Amino acid sequence: MEVSVTAPAARRNGHRPSRSVAVVGGGFGGVAAAVMLRRAGYDDVTVFERGERVGGVWHHNTYPGAACDVPSHLYEFSFAPNPRWSRRYAPQAEIQAYLEDVARRHRVLDRIRTGTEVQSAHWDEERGKWSLETSSGSHEADFLLTACGQLSVPKVPALPGLERFEGPAFHTAHWRHDVDLTGKRVAVIGTGCSAIQVVPAIQPIVEQVDVYQRSPGWTIPKMDFAYTERAQRLFERIPLLQRLDRAAVFAFMELGAAAMTGNRWLLPPFRAVARRQITKTIEDPELRDKVTPSDEVGCKRVMLTDEWYPTLTEPNVELVTAPIAELTPGGIRDASGTERAADALVLATGFRSHDFVAPMEIIGRDGLALAQAWEEVARAYLGLSVPGFPNMFLLYGPNTNGGTGSVIYTLEAGMGHVIAALRELERAGADRIEVSDEAAGEFDRELREALAGTVWHTGCTSWYVDENGNDPSQWPWLWSSYRRRTERLEPGAYRLSSSADVLAHG
């Protein structure tokens, strides 16, 4: 499953490609870009990361219990397998350490400028360059790659009275490690992927945790376990074993993707497992009702957990389903008028997933702003390129998220496409590449038609779909098809040109 990145012809002949690339974002996407470009012979790469370290979400999300929900043999780079994962699902700190280690071992750490935010990027049509304004000065590059992630900007809902709450209040992505929750009454708002990890992690130490739920999501067993030293050694000595495990996990994920997209007849077994998880662990019929979703399994992101329901049955946990009316200085009043005291407030309220590259401003050809091109909904050809924005590619861009699968796989496939584009330029002796309106329009029609038949559009509220019913998030096919469609350039999909042509024809 590794995207092949052998050296292009120019490099094999002893000549290194000289194109410069600016990458915005130093998470898995930014590191994948730097490593894969380097391996393909492109050395002039600068990665900008506004955080103090590389890592992206794994640097920012340090809440108790933070861990992967994809088995780590798939949630890792295909070109950097780690036989030494301590668990089936690695915890946050281990993933962060892995990513830093990959960047170090592949000698790209020195290309990553941390603590530097890119505020804007402008395409200079005459010179065929991207001009970046960053928090530490200007920068110029031939290519712009955005690797800003879909879940890097926390979302805080407009909660009446939030400013009046007197205790510490923080988002899971900005965990306050200086706040000791031991023996405290804690209110957690949200029951999504972060909440189901953080609540079981803090429940044993707090006096009381009240969890405020807007609508429940389906869960299936995670079946997490620690790898023994012997298992780790086996993976180390026989890499094939790890590759086989990776392939098995991938195949299972593809089954899930098939069920959620065109093959909904595959959903009943998933629904049965999800229902069984509730009935097996919860006896109280009222609590069972509260946690049982009314929507189809998979419509919202299916969550993996072994601990969520048992935790909800603990005597110091209350699941509150009445809507929040307001925050008071000392707690939360719900719509039924009940006020519950809280010493601290945890916002497990997710991310601004539809903003993509925002707040960075990107201005393409003829002064077109990306925000303007995306006024109705963010869209991009294969999630990667947008007409009017030459020499620009988006990693983990619009419609490249899945109900299953590993984002790392998606990022590598996207980078495979970028490298194919760079090679095409070398081959053609050109220096500009831009997706055509026709290819982008045709892809968009195909995509929207396929999305309509997926489980994500069966009438739930989820972070995939916006308030107008637009879906800028999901890939409505199998993951193998993403890889297949991105690994080479479709004939005619892109227009190639050279600066000399542009200058000659105005």
Ligand X SMILES: Cc1cc2nc3c(=O)[nH]c(=O)nc-3n(C[C@H](O)[C@H](O)[C@H](O)COP(=O)(O)OP(=O)(O)OC[C@H]3O[C@@H](n4cnc5c(N)ncnc54)[C@H](O)[C@@H]3O)c2cc1C
Residue 116 to residue 51: CA distance in whole angstroms: 7
Whichever of 25 and 476 has its CB closer to ligand X, that residue is 25
Residue 343 beta carbon to ligand X: minimum distance, rounded to whole angstroms: 24
Q: Which amino acid is at 287?
A: L
* Alpha-carbon Rg for the chain in angstroms: 24
Nearer to ligand X, 179 or 358 (CB): 358
For residue 34, the minimal CB distance to ligand X (Å) is: 11
Cβ at position 407, least distance to ligand X in Å: 3
Residue with tokens 């107008």: 468
Q: CB of 505: closest distance to ligand X in angstroms?
A: 33
Question: Using CA atoms, how far apart are residues 25 and 391, in angstroms rounded to an integer?
Answer: 17
Residue 341: half-sphere exposure toward Cβ, Cα within 13 Å: 5
Beta bridge partners of 91: 67
Positions that interact with ligand X (CB under 6 A): 24-30, 48-51, 56-57, 61, 66, 68-70, 75, 117-118, 147-152, 194, 360, 395-396, 406-407, 411
Smallest gap from Cβ 442 to ligand X, in A, equals 26
Distance in Å from the first CA to the final CA of the chain:
44
Q: For ligand X, which is the closer residue by CB, 52 or 286? A: 52
309 versus 409: smaller Cβ distance to ligand X: 409
Q: Helix H segments across 215-357? A: 229-237, 239-260, 267-281, 285-291, 308-312
Nearest approach, Cβ of residue 95 and ligand X (Å):
8
Q: Where are the beta strands (DSSP E) in 76-212?
A: 112-113, 118-124, 129-134, 137-141, 143-146, 169-171, 185-189, 208-212
Alpha-helical segments (H) within 159-237: 195-202, 229-237
Burial class for 62, CB neighbours closer than 10 Å (0-12, 13-18, 19+):
middle
Which CB sits closer to ligand X, 146 or 208?
146
Smallest separation, CB 489 to ligand X (Å) = 22
Cα 457 to Cα 465: distance, rounded to the nearest angstrom: 8
Supply φ then ψ for residue 272, to 5 degrees. -65, -40
Q: Would you say 172 or 277 has its CB closer to ligand X?
A: 172
Judged by CB, which is closer to ligand X: 316, or 481? 481
Complex with ligand X: residue 29 or 472, whichever CB lies closer: 29
Q: How far is the CB of 111 from ligand X (least distance, A)?
A: 14
Confirm if 278 and 292 have CB atoms less than 8 A apart. Answer: yes
